[in-house]
Structure 1
Amino acid sequence: MTDISLDGRTLAAVETSDSGTVDGDTRLHFQQDSDRVSARYAGGDILDGYLTGTFDGDRWDVRYVQLEAGGETATGHSVGEVTLLADGRVRVEDEWEWESREGTGETVLVEVED
């Protein structure tokens, strides 16, 4: 286990599957308290989103809910492997599945300046 904390970090997608809705314009703003993690996110096709779950320093297990620009709501579940890049930024390889509609995929998120 590493000592990675997501608290106060902002991440953005650098890669995502076709059935995903986050993109390079989506910003996820994280808070962490012990092994509990949450984030508010918005940008691109997402007007407002929230995720919450657990994070053990290497892997997160979260559920998310979001409101999209077309007025549709969506929910899902994801598990992400979190690593530190050489420059100290966080990188996440996230495998997700929609629960409110069909689709699964992968997204790569990288820490960005807020």
Structure 2
Amino acid sequence: MTDEVSLDGRTVVAVENEGGDVGSDTRMTFTQDGTRLSAEYSGGDIAQGYLLGTLVDGEWDVRYVQVDHEGETATGHSVGTVEQLPDGRVRIADEWEWESKPGGGRSLLEEV
């Protein structure tokens, strides 16, 4: 069931990301304690990034901050759904928006 999925210890990559910096070469590794969720990510255009938020009943609400290899920082907000695939991996479908600059989009993240 969706509300029982934990992201603790899982690593995901973007299989789709419209207009964002996270790509298939960006690895995002999660820690989860109850409903609190955090992740550290890097790779591709991103030198270092952090995500912090909640996961309740299969729905996530997170904020993120990152720095690219040129030293530009960016922040944003994302809401989406977390589901477990038949093979046991997780998939996250979300809508995100930058808070530090214009723009937003949708992404699909899957466990590697």
Q: What TM-score results when the alignment is normalised by the length of structure 1?
A: 0.95
Equivalences for residues 16-31 of structure 1 within 5 A? 16-17=17-18, 19-31=19-31
Q: Deviations over 1:16-71 (max 9, x none)?
A: 10x20000000000000000000000000000000001101401100000001121
Count of paired positions? 111
| Corresponding residue number in structure 2 for 1:90 | 90
Say what the alpha-carbon RMSD is for the aligned residues.
0.8
2:9 partner amino acid:
G
Q: Which runs of 5+ in 1 are unaligned?
A: none
Q: Does 1:11 align with 2:12?
A: yes
Length-normalised TM-score, structure 2: 0.96
2:76 is matched with which residue?
76
Percent of aligned pairs with the same residue? 59
**Corresponding residue SS for 1:2:** helix
**Structure 2 counterpart of 1:49:** 49
- In the TM superposition, 1:99-110 aligns within 5 A as 99-110=99-110
* Deviating 4+ runs (over 6 angstroms): none
Unaligned 5+ runs, structure 2? none
